[in-house]
Amino acid sequence: MKIYTGNGDGGFSTLSSSMKISKADERFEVLGCIDELVSFIGSCRAIVTCPILTKKLEDLQSKLFSIGSAITFPQKREYLPTEKDIKYIEEQIDKTEGSFERERDFILPGKCELSSRLDLARSVCRRLEREIITLDRKLGVDGSIKKYINRLSDYLYILARRIDYDFEKGDISKIVGENATTPLAAEPSDKDLEKIYNEVIKRVTNGKEITLEKARALAQKVREKAEEIGLKAVVAIANAQGRPILVEVMDDAYLVSFDVAIKKAYTSAAVKMSTAQLCKEIKVDGSLKGLETEQSLIFLGGGEPLKVGWEVVGAIGVSGGTAEQDSKLALYASQVFKYL
């Protein structure tokens, strides 16, 4: 099997479904940073001869691969860092920091090769954290990932400072070997590559309907986003036939928003498009001109279809603000739904 396929030549690729996504998508930015960080940690491991430190670096690489899978398949919680993982890395930070007297002033990286590589890895880790926060604002990222990556950058920093300390004391030979000046790129194991490859190419075979559990999770995401922008909204989630599955009313939401939200969800499910797009299509030269007389539909922004791949499995209606605000919240919900 050839390593190149040509499928991504147009700037698009796939993640957890067969739907193509732009390679400029925030998820690919995060996955690219994870790949960089794994490689930088590998370059550190390549010059280490201490078995204990080698094992610690290998474990970090494996955990990062797992986090990459959690970004690709956010519905699979087994890939997420656990409280035990986070506690372990905190203990390693405390243990390392307590093992030497570190400098408290501004540190200029470059005292030795290994610490320099660790500082490079730490810098990439900080960038990864920023990319994760950007992704979190758009689609949501589990808190355990954010917490683990934040701790990891601290761990890489304190490891680099301990290596500097050993270098100044003349003890660095216990940690690195003669190949310390040869920058070698570490590669993931065949087992890791096979696992990721199989997961990425697997198509979604279930989740073709909206369960009450999914509806509740989606409504919670929308409520949180509404609170961020100071909006008191009603959120209605319907199945593919437009029948309400769940309606949630935020405190102090307008009374009229209840019926409007339900109608937006029904309309979006019925026409299989956003109500904002429908408003454009019923205008003079629109493809759906004449549909505006249909009393069962509503022509206000704030309704969005919910899809699995290309299939519409339901719809969401949001009401509480301006048509533009409602549309933005509904669009956010349709994007988040793909990862529940």
Tens of pLDDT, residue by residue over 302-326, are 999 998 878 889 999 999 999 999 9
Are residues 70 and 182 both part of a single domain? Answer: yes
Helix (H) or strand (E) holding 236: strand 234-239
| Domain assignment present for 37 | yes
Are residues 245 and 185 both part of a single domain? Answer: no
| Domain assignment present for 142 | yes
| Domain assignment present for 56 | yes
Q: How confident is the model at residue 105 (pLDDT cuts 50, 70, 90)?
A: confident
Q: Which of 180, 201, 222 is the last residue of a domain?
A: 201
Helix (H) or strand (E) holding 327: helix 323-337
Q: What is the full DSSP assignment across 166-221?
A: HHHHT-GGGTB-GGGGS-------HHHHHHHHHHHHPPP-S--S--HHHHHHHHHH
pLDDT, tens digit (0-9, with 9 covering 90-100), for 210-227: 888 889 999 999 999 999
Per the CB < 8 A criterion, the answer to whether 338 and 17 are in contact is yes
Domain that holds residue 297: 212-337
CATH of the domain at 268: 3.30.450.150
Are residues 239 and 178 both part of a single domain? Answer: no
Mean predicted confidence (pLDDT) in 120-140: 93
| Domain assignment present for 106 | yes
Confidence (pLDDT) at 253:
92
Are residues 158 and 34 both part of a single domain? Answer: yes
Confidence (pLDDT) at 338:
83
Are residues 44 and 134 both part of a single domain? Answer: yes
Residues 6+ away with beta carbon under 8 Å from 270: 242, 296, 297
Burial (0-12, 13-18, 19+ Cβ within 10 Å), 6: exposed
Confidence (pLDDT) at 294:
84
Neighbours of 162 (CB within 10 A): 19
Are residues 60 and 154 both part of a single domain? Answer: yes
Judge whether residue 153 has pLDDT over 90: yes
Are residues 186 and 88 both part of a single domain? Answer: yes
Are residues 96 and 238 both part of a single domain? Answer: no
Lowest-pLDDT range, 11-20, 143-152, 189-198, 275-284? 189-198
Helix (H) or strand (E) holding 304: strand 303-308
Are residues 64 and 174 both part of a single domain? Answer: yes
Are residues 166 and 288 both part of a single domain? Answer: no
Q: How far is CA 241 from CA 68, 173, 301, 332, in A?
A: 36, 69, 20, 22
Residues 6+ away with beta carbon under 8 Å from 326: 233, 264, 300, 301, 302, 318, 319, 320
| Domain assignment present for 325 | yes
At residue 139, the 3 state secondary structure works out as coil
Residue, of 68 and 338, whose pLDDT is higher? 68
| Domain assignment present for 42 | yes
| Domain assignment present for 271 | yes
CATH of the domain at 63: 1.20.1200.10
Q: Which of 201, 232, 264 is the last residue of a domain?
A: 201
Are residues 168 and 313 both part of a single domain? Answer: no
Q: Which of 201, 228, 250 is the last residue of a domain?
A: 201
Strands 311-319 and 303-308: antiparallel
Confidence (pLDDT) at 9:
52
Are residues 244 and 165 both part of a single domain? Answer: no
Q: How confident is the model at residue 181 (pLDDT cuts 50, 70, 90)?
A: very low
CA distance 172 to 169: 8
Mean pLDDT of the chain: 84
| Domain assignment present for 207 | no
Confidence (pLDDT) at 11:
60
Question: Would the pTM of this model clear 0.85, i.e. be above it?
Answer: no
> How many domains, in total, are found in the chain?
2
Q: How confident is the model at residue 106 (pLDDT cuts 50, 70, 90)?
A: confident
DSSP 48: B
Mean predicted confidence (pLDDT) in 56-82: 92
